[in-house]
Amino acid sequence: MEDLNYLRTEYNSIVLEKDELIKTLNLVSKVSHTNSSSIECSCLTFIPDWKRKTLTLTVTNDLTYFKNNVELLGESDKALTDTFSIKIETLNKIKQFFRNKVLIYKKESEFYIRLLDGDLLIHTATPNMQRLYFTSSINSLVYEANVEDFCNILSIYGNMSDDYSDKWLSFDTDKISLCGTTFYAETKIKTPLMCLLMSDIELIIKLSQYYSSDTIQIFSTDSVNSIPRLQIKVANIEIEVLNVLSSINKTTISTLTTFVEEPTHIIETEAVKRVINIAMSLVDIEKDLRIKISDKGIVIILRSSKGDSEFNLNTQKLKESSKKEVVLSVNTLNKIIGSINSEKIGICLGKVYTSISSENTRAIILNK
């Protein structure tokens, strides 16, 4: 049993579990702006509530609001009741020195945090609480799902996203979709009508590291200043995000989805990933590859200054293909194939686009 004598202090203090603080720091990396001059954006704010024995850890970037309600430990007769903020950058630099339970106390007007080898005088600030309150009130529950299942789908698109793709993910009630300059991808799934920033998608995906077996709940809210927002709850985590419905380009999505063709051949996903990995790893391999349909099946051809390397993939033919050869970007193909978890994928070579499909996800890649 751990010796907790290190938690003794004559000063007013709070105590929380190290794991809860480190988990929070990991999650808010997708929310906070460490270089911001704003206390509320660059710092983690600690709000003790001794009546409920909870400690709220919160941060915002003025678009997304995050809070984690953790258990407040410590002696109530030496209760630190101040609300205070500590730089997230500072906490990340000293987290390796945290004890299993983190003690923060106030001596006169200064705050100290107890570490493995002593007490560190730490700079704190007083936040503007008006900037940390959620801006909207909950209206109704609009979606509920297992965290792991939902995040597995979102991870597909988190991996596809790059500097040239949309900065948001569209949910048009019957599918999720993402548009890039050289690709389009979609997954069939029933969801509310919503459009989330990719930075918020990354935050939701991170939740699966800690709450995979929990339930994620998404609530609609009463819009403030005509800006639609959503509130998301998982265990003790609460998040408010923008619902950027104005970014859903229904015309583009309805057009691109018709370009996805049914597969003519089925190939093993891992085999394609291995060939792509070779192309990505070797500097003398060109960053465009050719996919050809031969009498034996699908052939991927990598080109270098020395000549061509051909990889004949184990192929199941479903029907004839009118197009026999295409050239694709290795990077784009890697984003699409690398995001698919299915054992096998379908492929169809088209005149303008090559279609890739798995159990639930379909995509098109612009041919070179």
pLDDT tens digits for 260-306? 999 999 999 999 999 999 999 999 999 999 999 998 899 999 999 99
Looking at the structure, do residues 266 and 237 belong to the same domain, yes or no?
no
Looking at the structure, do residues 205 and 92 belong to the same domain, yes or no?
no
Question: How many domains does one find in the chain?
Answer: 3
Looking at the structure, do residues 231 and 293 belong to the same domain, yes or no?
no
Looking at the structure, do residues 107 and 147 belong to the same domain, yes or no?
no
* Among 131, 146, 173, residue at a domain's last position: 131
Looking at the structure, do residues 108 and 10 belong to the same domain, yes or no?
yes
Confidence at residue 298, expressed as pLDDT on a 0 to 100 scale: 96
Confidence at residue 223, expressed as pLDDT on a 0 to 100 scale: 76
Looking at the structure, do residues 73 and 115 belong to the same domain, yes or no?
yes
Which of 289, 267, 263, 266 is CA-nearest to residue 276? 289
Q: What is the mean pLDDT of the chain?
A: 94
Per the domain annotation, does 79 fall within a domain? Answer: yes
Q: What is the DSSP letter of 161?
A: -
Confidence at residue 341, expressed as pLDDT on a 0 to 100 scale: 84
Centre a 10 Å sphere on the Cβ of residue 219 and count the other Cβ atoms it contains: 21
**298 neighbors 347 (Cβ within 8 angstroms):** yes
Rounded to whole angstroms, how far apart are CA atoms 45 and 87?
A: 9
Per the domain annotation, does 254 fall within a domain? Answer: no
Per the domain annotation, does 160 fall within a domain? Answer: yes
Report the helix count and the strand count for the chain, using DSSP H and E.
8, 25
Per the domain annotation, does 239 fall within a domain? Answer: yes
Threshold 0.85, pTM exceeds: yes
Long-range contacts of 298-307 (CB under 8 A, 24+ apart): 298/265, 298/267, 298/347, 300/272, 300/275, 302/275, 302/278
Looking at the structure, do residues 162 and 280 belong to the same domain, yes or no?
no
Looking at the structure, do residues 155 and 195 belong to the same domain, yes or no?
yes
Looking at the structure, do residues 20 and 56 belong to the same domain, yes or no?
yes
- What secondary structure does DSSP assign to 59-110, as a single string? EE-SS-EEEEEEE-BS-GGGB----EEEEHHHHHHHGGGB-SEEEEEEETTE
Rounded to whole angstroms, how far apart are CA atoms 193 and 214?
A: 23
Looking at the structure, do residues 123 and 103 belong to the same domain, yes or no?
yes
* Among 199, 222, 249, residue at a domain's last position: 249
Pairing of strands 110-115, 101-107: antiparallel
Structure-token match 């290795």, residue found: 330
Q: How far is CA 355 from CA 186, 243, 260, 303, 347, in A?
A: 12, 30, 6, 22, 6
Which of 155, 153, 157, 152 is CA-nearest to residue 169? 157
Supply the CATH number for residue 280's domain: 3.10.150.10
Query: What is the span of the domain harbouring residue 185?
Result: 138-249
How would you write the pLDDT of the chain (368 residues) with one tens digit per residue?
Answer: 667 788 999 999 999 999 999 999 999 998 998 878 899 999 999 999 999 999 999 999 999 999 999 999 988 889 999 999 999 999 999 999 999 999 999 999 999 999 999 999 999 999 999 999 999 999 999 999 999 999 999 999 988 888 778 899 999 999 999 999 999 999 999 999 999 999 999 999 999 999 999 999 999 998 777 789 999 999 999 999 999 998 999 999 999 999 999 999 999 999 999 999 999 999 999 999 999 999 889 999 999 999 999 999 999 999 999 899 999 999 999 999 988 889 999 999 999 999 999 988 999 999 99
Rounded to whole angstroms, how far apart are CA atoms 187 and 265?
A: 20
| Phi, psi dihedral angles at 159 (to 5 degrees) | -75, -30
Looking at the structure, do residues 301 and 243 belong to the same domain, yes or no?
no
Per the domain annotation, does 255 fall within a domain? Answer: no
